[in-house]
Amino acid sequence: MTQALSSLARLTLRQLRQMASDLGVTLYSRKSKQDLVTAIAKRQDRKSGEPKSIESGLTAATRSDTTTRVVFLPRDPQWAYVFWEISDSDRKAAQNEGAAHLSLRLADVTGIQDGSSHPHTLQEVPVDSHSTEWYLPVPLCDRDYRVELGYRAGSTWISLALSSVARVPALHPSEQIMDQFVPFSLDATPATIAAAAPVSAPESTDSGLHERLYQTATTHFRSRRVGSEVLHEQQGLSSDQRGLSDSGAGLWASGRNESGLGGVAPRQRSFWLIADAELIVYGATDPSARLTIGGEDVPLSSDGTFRIQVPFRDGKQLYPIEATAADGVQKRNITLNFERVTPEDNTNPASEAQVEWF
């Protein structure tokens, strides 16, 4: 066994891969030289109890004449996995024509049905002649690609097989078309937050949509609130006394309580913290469809995507989403139910930071 390992270690990586392929070693193209030597020695020892010469191991094993094929599988927006098989007859024919290097050709065929590709998009990648798999970098996502397997013989290209056309996924699921939220500021007061206008929203979009969606989503659960919210509603304060709507930022909102106040004599130290959360509801449908969330019409982008950013405060929120086709017959719907619980809230903004004992 030691002598066999020593003999194998003197071979090149290409020779070891050829032997591993003939012996049926799995994933040989990904193994290091040392791993290949160990795997080949174990396979030879298991296959026959008698020692085998290295020269006999280099002899190509007889294989059935399979059909030459290549398969193109996008893995993510930046990489694709390609594997292939080459029949002995096609390999010998290519070698007789002077084949020198096995290569993969990646071509962009988006929107083309005649088998051609877009000009200046063809990329030729040389691969190891004994490999049967390869990872290809994808130049641009959200496009259709096809891979061609062949040999390079000088300036001549010898084609062996073409893969099916596959779509490389986009890097992002959808565009941001309806970012509506109250701008966050560490120096903001309740009055300035209430007066702030939505940002990043189209001019034609109703700026009150996100607030109406939140109110609709929490209507069914308002009588079932627990914890601090029950205490807040029992205070009997009107909207004018609170300064804002129930879903807005007020005296009792997260980060606005009086947890820092007390009757202890002040010290020369103070501290503060604010934190909150927002909920993003997004998706896509046919661009010509009518989309509603809780009965509210939601505009779609040109590609049918939508994205709503709403408050996410304590309690339950229910968002029934329904898409109706342009003919009014076909419908699709989904109901999303969310619940937020804040078991502890000891926050206060910087403007309300109070000196405390430690």
Type of residue numbered 21: S
Q: Which of 246, 157, 238, 154 is nearest to 194 (CA)?
A: 246
Same domain, 86 and 131: yes
Instruction: For the full predicted model, state whether its pTM sits above 0.95.
Output: no
Copy the structure tokens of residue 336: 């999303």
pLDDT of residue 65: 56
Same domain, 139 and 268: no
Same domain, 143 and 114: yes
CATH number (domain holding residue 161): 2.60.40.10
Q: Which of 303, 307, 314, 325 is nearest to 276 (CA)?
A: 314
Per the structure, the count of domains in the chain is 3
89-110 in b/e burial notation, b at 16+ Cβ within 10 A?
Answer: ebbeebeeeebeebbbbbbbbe
Residue 90 maps to a domain: yes
- Averages of pLDDT over each 10 residues, the chain, 358 residues: 68 79 78 83 70 49 68 91 91 88 91 80 87 89 92 90 90 56 48 45 54 72 48 47 47 45 52 86 91 90 86 90 91 93 88 70
Residue 216 maps to a domain: yes
Same domain, 229 and 155: no
Same domain, 162 and 211: no
Q: Which of 63, 70, 22 is nearest to 43 (CA)?
A: 22
Looking only at the bridges linking them, the beta strands covering 305-311 and 315-324 are unpaired
**Residue found under tokens 């290809």:** 136
Same domain, 327 and 209: yes
- Helix, strand, or coil (residue 72): strand
Residue 175 maps to a domain: no
pLDDT of residue 358: 54
CA pair distance 132, 90, nearest whole angstrom? 15
Residue 173 maps to a domain: no
CA quadruple 346, 349, 350, 352: dihedral, nearest 10: -80
CA pair distance 303, 192, nearest whole angstrom? 36
pLDDT of residue 193: 42
- Helix, strand, or coil (residue 137): strand
CATH number (domain holding residue 51): 1.10.720
pLDDT of residue 338: 92
CA pair distance 142, 77, nearest whole angstrom? 7
For 286, the domain range is: 190-352
**Residue found under tokens 């699921």:** 173
Same domain, 201 and 141: no
Residue 19 maps to a domain: yes
CA pair distance 254, 205, nearest whole angstrom? 28
Same domain, 93 and 204: no
Residue 183 maps to a domain: no
Q: Which of 358, 351, 342 is nearest to 258 (CA)?
A: 351
Residue 53 maps to a domain: yes
Same domain, 128 and 158: yes
Residue 174 maps to a domain: no
Looking only at the bridges linking them, the beta strands covering 156-162 and 144-153 are antiparallel
Same domain, 90 and 206: no
Same domain, 16 and 121: no
Same domain, 32 and 104: no
